[in-house]
Amino acid sequence: GIKDCMLPLLHQVVDIPTANKGRRHRRRCSNDRKIDAVVVSCGVNNVLWGQSASAFGIELKSLLISIQSSPGCEHAVVLVMGLPDFSRMPFLPWPLSSVVGWRGRALKEEMERVVEEMQLDEDGDDSNEKINGSRRRRIALATIPEVQDILGDAQNINTTNHPLLDHLRHDPAQLASLQIQDFFADDGFHPGKHGTILLGNLLSRVYAEEIGISVL
């Protein structure tokens, strides 16, 4: 399941840069470290495998609970990356795009339900309310916008100030020449350079809002 695949990443051995150029040493993440944010990106393979929404929801909730109870994550913001609209993936031919899109919408709705359920306590209070004397851990959903819409809006109004395309702020010529495929890897499915930057900008904005930092 997704918990068995993803939870060990919190405790993996990581490479740490050293003062000597080009040299690194390895150490295991300690249990006394403090983690500010955890990004969870899952669900795409579950869509492709045809997993039911209910089974996905059970696995996702189990993963999120396990993350929140992991050492160092007690006060971390858990950012759940939303699922894209597969029916609008430019490289999926019809009718495959329609079938995968239908599956994706079912899992997307289940993801939203699980996140909302974990954001609220039994009385429907906000997730930042204190429960049993301690502040409840925060969780947020980063909803992936449609690349076609973002790119179209930015190019049609001739601006480089779109918050998710901030890396092109000073390069209007490149923005004007961008096409949908520039946001995807060579397989036409995974995010490429511009798609990865867009998702990074999205996550940073959601995280900033979650910790109370105003973003434009």
Report pLDDT digits (tens) over 61-84. 999 999 988 888 888 999 999 998
Choice between 145 and 112, residue whose per-residue pLDDT is larger: 112
pLDDT average, residue stretch 181-198: 85
- Triad 162, 216, 42: Cα angle to 5°: 70
Q: Classify each residue of 60-70 as buried b or exposed e, where b means 16 or more C-beta atoms within 10 Å of its C-beta.
A: bbbbbeebbeb
Return the pLDDT at 15. Answer: 45
Query: Which residues, in sequence order, are CB contacts of 209 under 8 Å at separation 6+?
Result: 140, 215
pLDDT in tens, 17-51: 445 555 554 445 555 678 899 999 999 889 988 99
Return the pLDDT at 172. Answer: 77
Return the pLDDT at 63. Answer: 93
What residues does 13 pair with on adjacent strands?
28
Q: DSSP code of 149?
A: H
Q: DSSP code of 40?
A: E
What element of type H or E holds 28? Answer: strand 24-28
Minimal CA–CA distance to 80: which of 14, 151, 137, 123?
137
Return the pLDDT at 59. Answer: 95
- Give phi and psi for 172, each to the nearest 5: -60, -30
pLDDT in tens, 68-126: 888 888 889 999 999 988 888 877 888 888 999 999 999 999 999 999 999 885 345 55
Q: Considering the chain, what percentage of its residues have pLDDT values greater than 70?
A: 72
pLDDT average, residue stretch 183-202: 86
* pLDDT at position 143 over 80: yes
